[in-house]
């Protein structure tokens, strides 16, 4: 008889299948797996051996989740594709920290994208809670999580009443970066940020709203310093999903009349695109052009010259997001109206490397 052939038929092996073979009740078989102290060692061994012989793989996960009222999994909602999450070193570092912090809890990690196809992960995937990572505020997926009353923690999003939030001092870090350039003597400064298609291009005035909390905070921080210093920056808003190897927009910015002597970038990835464009145009960094990134991703120390940037502790951010969510899930009513743990804001630090220097005319 094969592992799944019972009484002349072939089908899925269940607790009842094992009970019938051993000649005990279904509850006795269930106890062998979940409450072994209720059985004698000999009876439990007999049941487990029979289960192994029949090829029983354990209780059905769906039924088990329904019985205990939880799935044993938490989701991380990403604005970008899952593929992008494994090519961006900051996103990868965040996910690595999340996975490491989750490991001892026994909770599984499920990556959710903002898909709008027939399957919408935030609507259709079974999870106990979610970490929402740097999503746009009007994301349909975020709306689905709220409608499902999924307990959630927001990371790098604007504060929302009733939802725990983990973020960094984006605005303060941007101020430090801008002040560094102003103190070096730069006055022809450009800003490069991601944004939606309808706001992309080179402009002489910063946009009021980019629809992405982190981008808006960093833009406000730069202007907190540049405005009072009398600097009117040129602003390049790149399509948010534009591949980084496409530097056409950046080259146009660097070739424009009265080209900038310094560029403040939303991220280290964008800063590297600026370095590539400068090299293609024969511009020396930092002799002709100073460049500052944000995040202090590992690549910031690998490029030459080393990239001046604003460091954030991405590992701490991921760990704190998980701890906040697991604390929330431990409450009697995690999706209820209990007050949230609050808002955690992590510090940042300006790291000066070789990509910044006084302007050439100084």
CATH number of the domain encompassing residue 50: 1.10.260.40
Based on the fold, state whether residues 117 and 211 are members of the same structural domain.
no
Asked if 153 and 145 count as a contact pair (C-beta separation under 8 A), the reply is: no
Residue with tokens 């403040």: 264
When pLDDT is averaged across residues 288-308 and rounded to a whole number, the result is 96
173 has pLDDT over 80: yes
Torsion of CA 216, 227, 286, 192, to 10 degrees: 30
Percentage of the residues of the chain whose pLDDT score is greater than 70: 88
Give 346's pLDDT tier (boundaries 50, 70, 90). very high
**Weakest mean pLDDT among 114-128, 172-186, 192-206, 276-290:** 114-128
Does residue 21 belong to any structural domain of this protein? yes
Q: Which domain holds residue 33?
A: 5-59
Based on the fold, state whether residues 22 and 36 are members of the same structural domain.
yes
Q: What is the pLDDT of residue 79?
A: 73
Q: Which of 26-40, 124-138, 214-228 is modeled with the greatest confidence? A: 214-228
Which whole-number Å values give the CA distances from 109 to 80, 96, 106, 329, in the listed order?
17, 11, 10, 15
Based on the fold, state whether residues 181 and 266 are members of the same structural domain.
yes
- Mean pLDDT over each residue of the chain, to the nearest integer: 86
Rounded distance between C-alpha atoms, residue 45 and residue 47, angstroms: 5
Q: How many CA atoms lie within 13 A of 227 on its CB side?
A: 9
Structurally, how many domains does the chain consist of? 3
Q: Which residues is 166 bridged to in the sheet?
A: 155, 344
Q: Provide the residue count of the chain.
A: 362
Based on the fold, state whether residues 119 and 176 are members of the same structural domain.
no
362 has pLDDT over 70: no
Cα angle for residues 220, 172, 318 (degrees, 5° grid)? 105
Based on the fold, state whether residues 33 and 79 are members of the same structural domain.
no
Give 9's pLDDT tier (boundaries 50, 70, 90). very low
Asked if 268 and 279 count as a contact pair (C-beta separation under 8 A), the reply is: no
When pLDDT is averaged across residues 287-293 and rounded to a whole number, the result is 97
Q: What is the pLDDT of residue 56?
A: 81
Based on the fold, state whether residues 340 and 246 are members of the same structural domain.
no
Whether the bond into 286 is cis, omega within 30 of 0 = yes
Cα angle for residues 357, 358, 362 (degrees, 5° grid)? 155
């Amino acid at each position: 008889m094969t592992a799944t052939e019972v009484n002349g038929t072939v089908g899925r092996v269940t607790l009842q299948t094992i009970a019938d073979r051993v000649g005990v009740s279904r509850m006795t078989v269930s106890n062998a797996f979940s409450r072994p102290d209720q059985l004698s060692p000999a009876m439990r061994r007999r049941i487990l051996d029979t289960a192994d012989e029949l090829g029983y793989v354990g209780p059905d996960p769906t039924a088990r989740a329904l019985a205990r009222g939880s799935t044993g999994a938490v989701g991380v909602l990403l604005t970008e594709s899952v593929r992008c999450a494994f090519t961006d070193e900051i996103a990868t570092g965040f996910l690595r920290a999340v996975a490491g912090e989750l490991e001892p809890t026994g909770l599984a990690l499920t990556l959710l994208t903002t898909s709008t196809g027939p399957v919408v992960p935030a609507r259709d995937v079974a999870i106990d809670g979610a970490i929402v990572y740097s999503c746009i505020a009007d994301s349909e997926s975020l709306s689905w999580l709220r409608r499902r009353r999924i307990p959630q923690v927001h990371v790098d999003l604007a504060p929302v009443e009733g939802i725990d939030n983990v973020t960094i001092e984006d605005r303060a870090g941007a101020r430090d970066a801008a002040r560094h350039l102003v103190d070096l003597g730069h006055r022809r400064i450009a800003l490069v940020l991601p944004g939606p298609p309808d706001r992309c291009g080179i402009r002489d005035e910063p946009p009021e709203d980019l629809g992405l909390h982190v981008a808006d905070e960093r833009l406000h921080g730069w202007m907190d310093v540049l405005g009072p210093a009398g600097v009117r920056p040129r602003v390049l808003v790149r399509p948010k999903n534009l591949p980084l190897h496409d530097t056409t927009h950046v080259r146009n910015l660097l070739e424009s009349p009265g080209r900038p002597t310094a560029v403040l970038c939303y991220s280290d990835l964008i800063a590297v695109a600026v370095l590539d464009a400068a090299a293609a145009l024969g511009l020396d960094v930092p002799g002709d052009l100073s460049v500052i990134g944000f995040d202090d991703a590992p690549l910031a120390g690998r490029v030459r010259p080393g990239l001046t940037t604003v460091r954030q502790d991405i590992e701490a951010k991921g760990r704190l997001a998980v701890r906040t969510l697991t604390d929330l899930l431990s409450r009697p009513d995690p999706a209820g109206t209990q007050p949230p743990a609050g808002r955690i804001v992590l510090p940042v630090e300006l790291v000066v490397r070789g990509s910044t220097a006084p302007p050439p005319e100084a």
